[in-house]
Amino acid sequence: MATTKAKTSKQNSNKQEEYSLAQRTICNGNVVLYFRTDNATRWHARIRQQANTWHRFSTKESSFSKAKKAAEERFREIKHNEKHKRVIVPRKFSDVCRVVKRELLKEYESTNVHTLKTHIQVIDGYLVPFLGKYKCHEITTKALKEFSTARTNKLGREPTKSTISNHNAALNYVLKQAQALGYIEKLPKINNEGTPSGTRDWFAQDEWKALRNFLRKDLNNAKKMVGKEGRNGIDTITPLTYEIRELLREVVLILVNTGIRPGKELMSLKWRNLDIVEESGKQMVQLSLTHTKTMNRTGHLRRVIAYQSRSTTSNKKPYGVWEPLRRIASRFEDTKDLEWEELFERDKYIFRLPSTNKLFSYERLGKQFVALLKRCPYKSREDGLYKTSNNNTRSLYSLRHTYATFRLKDGMTEGDLSRNMGTSIKMIEEHYGHLTPELVPLRYSERTSKKADSEAEELKQEIKELKKQMKELIATLKK
């Protein structure tokens, strides 16, 4: 067997050597004939396309002259399609997905951008299983409707607009690549007919109190488990796991007091992105977000004011984000002894692990948060605080929604909240409108009353000024 393969390999090698590269390169250098492997018996060809990419195919011919003729015919077909802007070469959608996924993985490894990871998950979980069987030019409106039905069946419910937006972004990414390669003429229309996300999952006051208290208890318990013998994760944990739980505690407290998004907005923060702003004898931390989903109206960095402040006129211990930031700084030699002003000048990422001095993965942090919620005891629930009373699951994003809910309860206006969260007033009303009839009316009437009082006072002053001017005018006329 081995002897036969070796003999065939030698024959093919000799057969290819019969024709020089110049003889095998035809159509003005745009087509090259070759054997794919030493054991191959049929000629292959690669054809240069308009986008400067190569189309490779088997001529299915053992004869060089017949293979050359087949390659020339395919070349003329491709050029004709390019000229008339038609599909150049039919290609399976799954093949393009494979190429795109490879590019996304490479980019994700160098940038760690979470959106790229989401695209990869959508490609693997939905696009390839449901659309991979089609040729690229067969991805029509009808095919997309079938895809929508299959997706709903897989989810077991109607997907939300947010879910469909993520899927559409990944689908568009692949289709644009297929168009650039000449596999489709134009992009099909992609709709988003998902159900509105509605009220976001958040923590009620008693739930947040239970979680906040458990953070400290859980960390104290974890400290006792470091290095002990027993079952890993139950009786004992590693020093690295303890560091992760330490960091998670600070992340939870910072997110619920700032409302920033727990992905790039959080993980890209450096100490130098923080400042102290002062108003009415109180100091607050201001965060300048360098990587954010939305910019402010001027196109500059979005700035967020942390909710909790500290008084500059008393010796009270600072709270809100002050404590978690100080604890993080104390774990590193280069920041532990710095005053706030000095600390906020350091060009170092905040959310690092002391043992590695590197940023911790946001995805792993999210998984740790879910595990924390499941450990947290609450009203004898099997999954602790992981699920809401409506059986929806929570994630780190729930802390952003909790921030919004608490601030509306405290009387913050929708306009102020939208600016601090980097979202529209419409989104605030859509997702947190459930608070209005129950919690906001009293504060709204109070704000309206104050506004009316202010306007009345201004009117009095204007009338007083007019009377003064009238007296001066009368006095002048009498003279």
DSSP 3-state assignment of 251? helix
> For position 298, what pLDDT does the model report?
45
Average pLDDT over residues 249-276: 93
Confidence bin at 383 (pLDDT 50/70/90) = very high
The reply to whether 461 falls in a domain is: no
| Domain co-membership, 219 together with 319 | yes
| Domain co-membership, 280 together with 348 | yes
Q: Can you list the alpha helix ranges (DSSP code H) found in 318-434? A: 322-330, 340-343, 362-375, 397-409, 414-421, 425-432
The reply to whether 47 falls in a domain is: yes
Among candidate residues 48, 83, 118, the one where a domain is terminated: 83
> For position 89, what pLDDT does the model report?
58
| Domain co-membership, 71 together with 212 | no
> For position 448, what pLDDT does the model report?
47
- pLDDT for 437-476, tens place per residue? 444 444 444 444 555 555 667 777 777 777 787 877 777 7
Among candidate residues 58, 83, 108, the one where a domain is terminated: 83
Which amino acid would we find at residue 318?
Answer: P
Does position 320 have pLDDT exceeding 70, yes or no? Answer: yes
> For position 114, what pLDDT does the model report?
76
- Across the chain, mean pLDDT equals 83
Tallying the residues shown for the chain, one arrives at 479
Indicate which CATH number applies to the domain containing 263. 1.10.443.10
> For position 285, what pLDDT does the model report?
93
* Residue showing tokens 């009270």: 316
| Domain co-membership, 104 together with 62 | no
| Domain co-membership, 218 together with 135 | no
Confidence bin at 425 (pLDDT 50/70/90) = confident
The reply to whether 303 falls in a domain is: yes
| Domain co-membership, 43 together with 131 | no
- pLDDT for 174-217, tens place per residue? 998 888 877 787 788 887 765 555 556 889 999 999 999 999 99
> For position 437, what pLDDT does the model report?
44
Number of domains in the chain: 3
| Domain co-membership, 76 together with 123 | no
> For position 443, what pLDDT does the model report?
45
pLDDT above 90 coverage of the chain, percent:
41
Average pLDDT over residues 118-127: 93
Are 300 and 290 within 8 A, CB to CB? no
The reply to whether 443 falls in a domain is: no
| Domain co-membership, 56 together with 114 | no
> For position 426, what pLDDT does the model report?
81
Confidence bin at 92 (pLDDT 50/70/90) = confident
- pLDDT for 287-311, tens place per residue? 998 877 655 444 556 788 887 766 5
| Domain co-membership, 385 together with 276 | yes
| Domain co-membership, 297 together with 260 | yes
Q: Which of these ranges, 63-77, 143-157, 295-309, has the smallest mean pLDDT?
A: 295-309
The reply to whether 140 falls in a domain is: yes
> For position 269, what pLDDT does the model report?
94
Read off the DSSP letter of residue 318: P
Q: Which positions ≥6 away from 156 have C-beta within 8 Å? A: none
Average pLDDT over residues 29-58: 84
Q: Which of these ranges, 46-60, 284-298, 379-393, has the smallest mean pLDDT?
A: 284-298
Q: Which of these ranges, 22-36, 86-100, 150-164, has the smallest mean pLDDT?
A: 86-100
Count of CB atoms situated within 10 Å of the CB of 43: 25
Does position 9 have pLDDT exceeding 70, yes or no? Answer: no
* Residue showing tokens 């419409």: 426
> For position 271, what pLDDT does the model report?
97
Among candidate residues 437, 453, 470, the one where a domain is terminated: 437
pTM: 0.62
Confidence bin at 330 (pLDDT 50/70/90) = very high
Number of H helices, E strands in the chain: 19, 8
Cα 337 to chain centroid distance, Å, stands at 34
| Domain co-membership, 211 together with 111 | no
Q: 351 is in which domain, residue-wise?
A: 206-437
Read off the DSSP letter of residue 303: E
> For position 433, what pLDDT does the model report?
59
> For position 197, what pLDDT does the model report?
53
Quote the tokens at residue 423: 């979202």
Q: Which of these ranges, 52-56, 243-247, 366-370, has the smallest mean pLDDT?
A: 52-56
| Domain co-membership, 125 together with 6 | no
Q: Is 237 exposed, middle or buried (0-12, 13-18, 19+ CB in 10 A)?
A: buried
Are 33 and 64 within 8 A, CB to CB? yes
CA atoms within 13 A on the CB side of 72: 11
The reply to whether 50 falls in a domain is: yes
